[in-house]
Amino acid sequence: MAAEDLGNLEWERSKISQQDINMLKKLGISGKQDAIRFPKEESYPAPPMQYRVSFVDHLIRGLSTPIHDFLRGLLFMYGLQLHHLTPNSILHISIFITLCESFLGIQPNWSLWKRIFLCRRNGSSSVAYNIGGVVICVRPDVEYFDVKFPDSVQGWRKKWLYIREENHGSVEDNIPPFDGAEKICRRRSWDAEATDAEKAATEALMTRIHELQNTRGQELSGIQITAYFLRIRVQPLQARKNPLWMYAGDKDVDRLSVDLSVNDLAKLVRKISSLNKKDSVPTSCGVTPYSATNALPQPFMKELIRFGTQFIGYRNHAGELEEKLAEANRRADALTIELEQSKSAHTKTVEDLQKRLDDAKKALEENVTQHSAREKEILSRLETQSRRFVRRTHQEYELDNPEDDELLDALSLLEIHGTEARNGLAEAEAGLSRLFPYFFHKKEEPAVFIDLAKCFTGNEDLGLQLRQEGLKVGVEGTMALVAESQQQVDWSKVGDAGKIETKKWQSLIKAAKPNSKKILATLGYKPTTAPSSSKPEVK
């Protein structure tokens, strides 16, 4: 089985334990009515209206609806859906948002993110995952918090469920609709690096992150940040009314539940990290996070405002992409119009050729009919005069005065019409002989006129053959001109008329008309002997 097909086999019937359900209740994630729906017998997700597909391990790592604007921006920039991200990747994003809001006092932004993280495909040479097919990684040259992720998260792909989509009146808070068949395609944004301007704007933040990690006695760790957002009961990946630097304690409007017990908090931290039962779970952070009781310092607020005015984030980048997409759509529309016009002109030409062919066939049939009628008339008159001649053979015939002799008049008339008939049939035969090789170039021309005429009165659509030969001539002539122009042309995209130098083509066509044979001879082509086509052949 091909590696790209293996991802489609990952989905199977959801297996969520009662222990998982109890944990979601304690965390307040399933506190609202119909906030979560558990799958029944289906083995492939089919979310109801206004619901999206998620996983238990994503929810316990900080995900809730409506999703945070920054998370939605990442999904857009990387071209991903939620089920493409592993649980550890979700935790990376939660820690980053908590770090920005609680310890740096800024909104999470694309510039700082690019300095720290990149995307990688999750799989091997024989397996291409769809569920969890992408992982968020810290750049190898960046010093960042040791999060202590577990080596693996067992069985998380089987614990999928439906979460109710919510928003604050804006579609930007919505999770992209679920598409289990969407393939993961690597994008340049996976490795996007900060520009020089973004590096300059975020240098102070990177320095602050280094200080938070290395200030003796006040070191901040990834486990401390994780335990902090779990302890305050605010989901970092949820679109909230207030940023975490305004967290107001037990009465905060964004809290999902009451405080977890010490035991439950320790179990949860150990579940999503590599800590074991012997390792202690931090109950506080090495540095006090910003909150309603620990407000941002005024000088830092000014710096935050300045940074906000300098920052060019993923929204700007998304705007540029949308402009490029709009331009591509306009270009596609223009090409569609040109194609329709070309089709219309081609159809009109074909119809005109068909009409000419029909007229020629009709004229030929009328000519044959007229000659047949004349022949019948002449034969009838000849028969009559013959009978009279027979009768007169028994009588004396005087040649002294031949005027008004009916027999001589009949013979003269026969000679005149016979000559006319012979000339007409000769012209008809010559005309059909000239047309015959263009329609039946692989057949031998019949020697008998009647057989030749029957070839043109059959059921075969001669117009189709004429159109095909006309298209051959056009295509081969175009290829000869392209070769002479020495332009590089991608024939798979030859319909992209916007890339053709119009003036160049016009001058080539004008020059080629009186010199087409010379051009073909120069290029090493020679026309085929078949009169039905001018197809050039390579010597």
* 523: number of Cβ within 10 Å: 15
Which value, in Å, is the radius of gyration of the alpha carbons in the chain? 43
Q: Cα angle at 12 between 11 and 13, to 5 degrees? A: 140
Strand, helix or coil for residue 159: coil
Of residues 399 and 456, the one with the higher pLDDT is: 456
What is the rounded CA–CA span in Å between residue 101 and residue 70? 12
In 29-157, where do the E strands start and end?
36-37, 51-55, 117-121, 134-138
Hey, CA dihedral for 126, 129, 133, 135, is it positive or negative? negative
What is the rounded CA–CA span in Å between residue 211 and residue 205? 10
Q: Tell me the Ramachandran region of residue 140: left when phi exceeds 0, alpha when psi lies from -120 to 50, beta otherwise.
A: alpha
**Residue 78: pLDDT band by 50, 70, 90 thresholds?**
very high
How distant, in Å, are the alpha carbons of 134, 407, 481, 534 from that of 85? 5, 108, 52, 59
| Number of residues written out for the chain | 539
Query: Across residues 310-334, what is the average pLDDT?
Result: 62
Q: Are 24 and 236 in contact (CB under 8 A)?
A: no
**Residue 530: pLDDT band by 50, 70, 90 thresholds?**
very low
Of residues 138 and 338, the one with the higher pLDDT is: 138
| Confidence (pLDDT) at 113 | 95
What is the rounded CA–CA span in Å between residue 72 and residue 235? 15
Specify the amino acid at residue 311.
Answer: F
Residue with tokens 């995209």, as numbered in its chain: 493
What is the rounded CA–CA span in Å between residue 535 and residue 527? 6
| Confidence (pLDDT) at 321 | 59
Task: Please check the confidence at residue 532 and state whether its pLDDT lies above 50.
Answer: no
Strand, helix or coil for residue 44: coil
What is the rounded CA–CA span in Å between residue 443 and residue 448? 14
Residue 34 β-bridge partners: none
Which is nearest to 443 in space by CA: 465, 426, 464?
465
Of residues 313 and 266, the one with the higher pLDDT is: 266
**Residue 482: pLDDT band by 50, 70, 90 thresholds?**
low
Query: Across residues 302-323, what is the average pLDDT?
Result: 51
What is the rounded CA–CA span in Å between residue 501 and residue 42? 57
What is the rounded CA–CA span in Å between residue 421 and residue 47? 84
| Confidence (pLDDT) at 97 | 96
Strand, helix or coil for residue 40: coil
Comparing 40-44, 274-278, 379-383, the range with the smallest average pLDDT is: 379-383
Q: Are 28 and 57 in contact (CB under 8 A)?
A: no
| Confidence (pLDDT) at 183 | 85
Strand, helix or coil for residue 160: strand
| Confidence (pLDDT) at 513 | 62
| 151, two tokens | 């080596």
Specify the amino acid at residue 90.
Answer: I
What is the rounded CA–CA span in Å between residue 36 and residue 312? 36
| Confidence (pLDDT) at 435 | 79
| Confidence (pLDDT) at 320 | 62
**Residue 359: pLDDT band by 50, 70, 90 thresholds?**
confident
Global pTM exceeds 0.75? no
Backbone angles phi, psi at 298, to 5 degrees: -60, -45
Comparing 112-126, 281-295, 390-404, 444-458, the range with the smallest average pLDDT is: 390-404
| 149, two tokens | 């992720």
What is the distance, to the nearest Å, from the Cα of residue 496 to the centroid of all Cα atoms in its chain?
16
**Residue 430: pLDDT band by 50, 70, 90 thresholds?**
confident
| 320, two tokens | 């540029």
Task: Please check the confidence at residue 41 and state whether its pLDDT lies above 60.
Answer: yes
What is the rounded CA–CA span in Å between residue 482 and residue 488? 8
| Confidence (pLDDT) at 311 | 39
Comparing 321-325, 486-490, 527-531, the range with the smallest average pLDDT is: 527-531
Q: Is the peptide bond before 66 cis (omega within 30 degrees of 0)?
A: yes
| Confidence (pLDDT) at 111 | 92
Task: Please check the confidence at residue 523 and state whether its pLDDT lies above 60.
Answer: no
Q: Are 428 and 436 in contact (CB under 8 A)?
A: no
How distant, in Å, are the alpha carbons of 75, 90, 252, 491 from that of 81? 6, 12, 30, 36
145-155 per-position pLDDT tens digit: 988 888 778 88
What is the distance, to the nearest Å, from the Cα of residue 136 to the centroid of all Cα atoms in its chain?
26
Query: Across residues 304-331, what is the average pLDDT?
Result: 58
| Confidence (pLDDT) at 312 | 39
**Residue 74: pLDDT band by 50, 70, 90 thresholds?**
very high
Q: Are 94 and 237 in contact (CB under 8 A)?
A: yes
**Residue 394: pLDDT band by 50, 70, 90 thresholds?**
very low
| Confidence (pLDDT) at 305 | 47
| Confidence (pLDDT) at 336 | 77
Q: What is the residue-averaged pLDDT of the chain?
A: 78
Which is nearest to 463 in space by CA: 439, 484, 480?
439
Query: Across residues 16-41, what is the average pLDDT?
Result: 89
Domain boundaries, the chain: 3-311, 313-460, 465-539
Comparing 49-63, 195-209, 461-475, the range with the smallest average pLDDT is: 461-475
Task: Please check the confidence at residue 494 and state whether its pLDDT lies above 60.
Answer: no
Half-sphere exposure of 49 (CA within 13 A, CB side): 0
| Confidence (pLDDT) at 7 | 43
Residue with tokens 């969407």, as numbered in its chain: 182
What is the rounded CA–CA span in Å between residue 168 and residue 208? 33
Strand, helix or coil for residue 123: strand
What is the percent of the chain with per-residue pLDDT over 90, rounded to a whole number? 34
Task: Please check the confidence at residue 338 and state whether its pLDDT lies above 70.
Answer: yes
Task: Please check the confidence at residue 455 and state whether its pLDDT lies above 90.
Answer: no
pLDDT winner (highest mean) among 164-173, 250-259, 421-430: 250-259
What is the rounded CA–CA span in Å between residue 146 and residue 212? 12
| Confidence (pLDDT) at 517 | 62
**Residue 317: pLDDT band by 50, 70, 90 thresholds?**
low
Task: Please check the confidence at residue 194 and state whether its pLDDT lies above 60.
Answer: yes
**Residue 358: pLDDT band by 50, 70, 90 thresholds?**
confident
CB proximity list for 494: less than 8 A, separation 6 or greater: none
Task: Please check the confidence at residue 497 and state whether its pLDDT lies above 90.
Answer: no
| 269, two tokens | 């931290």
| Confidence (pLDDT) at 443 | 79
| 92, two tokens | 């990376």
How distant, in Å, are the alpha carbons of 320, 332, 491 from that of 323? 5, 14, 28
| Confidence (pLDDT) at 206 | 93
Residue with tokens 């959801």, as numbered in its chain: 14
Strand, helix or coil for residue 118: strand
Comparing 57-71, 122-136, 313-327, 361-375, the range with the smallest average pLDDT is: 313-327
Task: Please check the confidence at residue 215 and state whether its pLDDT lies above 80.
Answer: yes
Task: Please check the confidence at residue 85 and state whether its pLDDT lies above 90.
Answer: yes
